[in-house]
Structure 1
Amino acid sequence: MGIASRLEIDPQVLTLALARMTESVGNSFLIVVLPLFIGSGVIQGNTYGLTEVAVTGIVLSLFGFVNSPLQPVTGRLSDRTGRRKVFVLIGLVLIGVASFSYSLASAYWHLVGLRVLQGIAGALIIPTTVALVNDLATATNRGGNMGTYNTFRLVGFGVGPIAAGAVVSAGPYALELSTVQVEFNGFDAAFYFATLTATLSFVLVAFLIRDPDMESAEAGDSMAGITMIDRTGQGVLDPVFTLGVVSFFMAVGIAMFATLGDIINARLNQGPTLFGLQFAAFVLAQILLQMPIGRATDFYGRKGFIVLGMVLLVPTTFVQGVLYDPWLMFAARFAQGVAGAMVFAPALALAGDIAPDGQSGSTLSVLTMAFGFGVAFGPLVSGFLVEFGFVVPFAFGAFLAAIGVVLVWSQVEETVTSKKSVFPTD
């Protein structure tokens, strides 16, 4: 019996996770490459009085600001059509086209346009892949499947930034094609690589993933999961909306780090390699823990993990603003990743438990949209708040996490124990 069977992981979830991992490697290259690309002098044009750091923050944040508000739309459309795969494929095509086009960019507005295109692609891919995982999972293994999917996706997201700097610095490259020698610099190599990973992901999804059998959601019901007020009367806020708010708070706290690279390097007296390791430490912790934590929630419940994760997020976010040692910063980022692993996959699984049949796309898009907004908002807010002191953005992130603890504790009910029964019904 294979590992997937023992862990009750659907084989299609593994394939989808592998496809997302492949695409994420190339896409996450851009988090490191684009700031270097902007600072290289290749990009010219009007910055409208903004500093290079501010321009970098805007370019990085555009992806989230564009894809996040569109995610409920694509999630709803995938519910209504009963098809998810086609949305993923179109998104991967757009990701590949945009990644290649960066090699042709020479002005700031080119970068803005390409990030908008990638944002649209993300809106097509993110909610539909998560909904696919939810559709393929069951109430008894949803946490494990969500954890597995997120683990593979984060492997790609973690490998990309570490490798990106090496690919850029190792250029220029020369490639022999028959009798022709093609030369390209390190930036172009990174963009070509991102294009290749999107292409490989497209092939995996096109040939190995199928839409599960599901009824198309009725037009009037497909947004039923998106509401602020709890219609059951058990709480004040809708539990899915609450989980979305908490996902936003978590994402803000973890995303602030990226924009402050130069400031952090100067403060800790370190180079870009250590910064890359610190950035990846958060992802490393999630890679190690998402799968076992997700599986544990199938047995022990989901809410407790989310609450503990948000509690841990408070000190691990704040302490980053007072450290001066590179390896202590690495440890803080790793501990923050442990907190994130206890929140994200369990929150998706809990929302999946609540989602009505055929409405996974619109329901789970609340969380993925909120997380995307947080990832977009974090770099922007840190770039501005750091002007008031290095600790200020991290204190702000810790404050949001503390609010998240109260929200989950008071507004979200456990789902696992109420659904488990010693008497099978099928």
Structure 2
Amino acid sequence: MKNRLGVNPQVIALALARMSESVGNSFLIVVLPLFIASDFVSGNAFGLTEVAITGIVLSLFGFVNSPLQPFTGRLSDRTGRRKIFVLFGLVLIAAASFAYSLASSYWHLLGLRVLQGIAGAFIIPTTVALVNDLAAEGNRGGNMGTYNTFRLVGFGVGPIAAGGVVDAGPYSLSLGGISVTFSGYDAAFYFAACTATVAFLLVTILIRDPDIETTDGDDDSGGIAVFDQSGEQLLDPVFALGVISFFMAVGIAIFATLGDIVNAKLDQGPTMFGLQFSAFVLAQILLQAPIGRATDFYGRRVFILAGTVLLVPTTLAQGLIPEIALFGGLAPDSWLMFGARFFQGAAGAMVFAPALALAGDIAPDDRSGSTLSVLTMAFGFGVAFGPLISGFLVAWGFVVPFAVAAFLAAAGVVLALTQVEEVITPQRTIPLVG
């Protein structure tokens, strides 16, 4: 596989570990809102509605791990070790997932979600840095694309299975004459803990730290550079890629909190909304690896630019499709929304993996952790901000959050045109204006 696809076997092992962990972690996206709405959780809600508490609990993961990622990425550069950070994060994820089964108040959920956010800060930048360390200049895109594909498979499978696990409860087990009964929620939390444990074992057995030169602990040059030090352009190229990733993630995430409104406008059920939500992930799964591999031949920038351009209409379309009924008496079509989400996913596939590969091309050998953490941090912030932004903006009209996200995507087009350049010579050329 290494020779045919240019993918390092250790990258595949790491991707499998992240896929396993992502299955359990994405379980919680579906299970936690149901758990909060159940009789298992009670106590002081801090004067907030149940919906508001749910939004905060779900968003905490991104808000906690994103600002910490540059620090853990930089620390892994200084120590020259990645594996120990990944393992520590997986232990925290497993422990927090199991502890949800013991939670009974909103305080417990908030604290555990913060703990998982800290775990994510140890896992996310160091695994991406590991992929970058294990890849070579000529196959970095393919390795990044393959890694993201497996991770997204886990993220996509989790929500599909989570509801069924909860609904099938309670469960009863008999061991040696001892009968144990636990709820569907407990089963989901135990399962999430098990997937993190499987990931821990895969990393322990199959992954080894590559030989990388450690950075000088007194060197402060590993911080986030906003402006280009060479003076050739305004923004540092990695920072520009981070901003583009943030804009993309906001556009993806605004859909998540609008389920009830979308279902009412399209006269559909929650199953169809789940399919629409998963369409983005499906496109990513199908396209990330081949697009990543293509960037090794045709360059990164052409795909990043094409992806940001495609994000504009596919994001705006999601806000316009439910309004079709206002024109000509046509009924809005749920499958049109599915198509818009799928093509938005295709656009995202052309942005994120190529952006990671380009940042990896730019990163010095001893600073891939801190460099790539700029993009993973930006993406995490975007995923966290998107649902909150849409919750406020939708009060002005259903199309408004999508229009704002489309505007941000258009700003990403400008950044890709003016602030992003190739750093390696593509083996083949696609004509590109700009």
- Residue 85 of structure 2 corresponds to residue 77 of structure 1: no
Report if the CA contact (8 A) 2:298-2:427 is conserved. Answer: no
Where structure 1 has 5 or more consecutive residues not aligned to the other structure, the ranges are: 421-426
Instruction: Name which of 214, 217, 220 aligns with 2:215.
Output: 217
Instruction: Name which of 119, 122, 133 aligns with 1:121.
Output: 119
Instruction: Indicate the residue corresponding to 1:295 in structure 2.
Output: 293
* Equivalent residue runs for 1:85-96 within 5 Å: 85-96=83-94
Report if the CA contact (8 A) 1:80-1:222 is conserved. Answer: no
Give the whole-Å Cα distance in 2 for the aligned partners of 1:18 and 1:343: 22
Letter paired with 1:328: L
Cα deviations across residues 263-318 of structure 1 (Å, max 9, x unaligned)? 22222222222222111110110000000000000000100100110111111111
Instruction: Indicate the residue corresponding to 1:42 in structure 2.
Output: 40
Change in Cα spacing, 1:183 to 1:266, as seen in structure 2 (3 Å) is farther
Deviation at 1:418, TM superposition (A): 7.0
Letter paired with 2:19: M
Give the whole-Å Cα distance in 1 for the aligned partners of 2:59 and 2:360: 27
Q: For this pair of structures, how many residues does the alignment match?
A: 418
Instruction: Name which of 347, 350, 361 aligns with 1:339.
Output: 347
Give the whole-Å Cα distance in 1 for the aligned partners of 2:223 and 2:347: 26
Report if the CA contact (8 A) 1:321-1:395 is conserved. Answer: yes
Q: Percent identity?
A: 75
Local SS of the residue matching 2:172 = strand
Higher mean C-alpha displacement, 85-94 vs 375-384: 375-384
Cα deviations across residues 113-155 of structure 1 (Å, max 9, x unaligned)? 0110000000000000000000000110000000000000000
- Residue 336 of structure 2 corresponds to residue 305 of structure 1: no
Instruction: Indicate the residue corresponding to 1:10 in structure 2.
Output: 8
Moved segments of 4+, more than 4 Å: none
Structure 2 length normalisation: TM-score? 0.94
* Equivalent residue runs for 1:131-280 within 5 Å: 131-221=129-219, 223-224=221-222, 226-280=224-278
Instruction: Indicate the residue corresponding to 1:102 in structure 2.
Output: 100
Cα deviations across residues 35-59 of structure 1 (Å, max 9, x unaligned)? 1111223221222332222221111
Give the whole-Å Cα distance in 1 for the aligned partners of 2:192 and 2:213: 35
Instruction: Indicate the residue corresponding to 1:392 in structure 2.
Output: 400
Higher mean C-alpha displacement, 178-187 vs 143-152: 178-187
Give the whole-Å Cα distance in 2 for the aligned partners of 1:203 and 1:300: 37
Give the whole-Å Cα distance in 1 for the aligned partners of 2:167 and 2:311: 34
Higher mean C-alpha displacement, 192-201 vs 43-52: 43-52
Deviation at 1:186, TM superposition (A): 1.4
Cα deviations across residues 233-260 of structure 1 (Å, max 9, x unaligned)? 1100000000001111111110111222
Instruction: Indicate the residue corresponding to 2:328 in structure 1.
Output: none
Give the whole-Å Cα distance in 2 for the aligned partners of 1:188 and 1:138: 43
Deviation at 1:370, TM superposition (A): 0.5
Instruction: Name which of 315, 320, 345 aligns with 1:317.
Output: 315
Structure 1 length normalisation: TM-score? 0.95
Where structure 2 has 5 or more consecutive residues not aligned to the other structure, the ranges are: 323-332, 429-434
Local SS of the residue matching 1:260 = helix
Letter paired with 1:407: L
Instruction: Indicate the residue corresponding to 1:380 in structure 2.
Output: 388
Give the whole-Å Cα distance in 1 for the aligned partners of 2:292 and 2:68: 27
Local SS of the residue matching 2:255 = helix
- Residue 363 of structure 2 corresponds to residue 365 of structure 1: no
Instruction: Name which of 104, 108, 111 aligns with 2:109.
Output: 111
Cα deviations across residues 336-392 of structure 1 (Å, max 9, x unaligned)? 100000000000000000001110000000000000111111111111111221111
Report if the CA contact (8 A) 2:224-2:374 is conserved. Answer: yes
Give the whole-Å Cα distance in 2 for the aligned partners of 1:17 and 1:70: 22
Letter paired with 2:166: V
Letter paired with 2:39: G
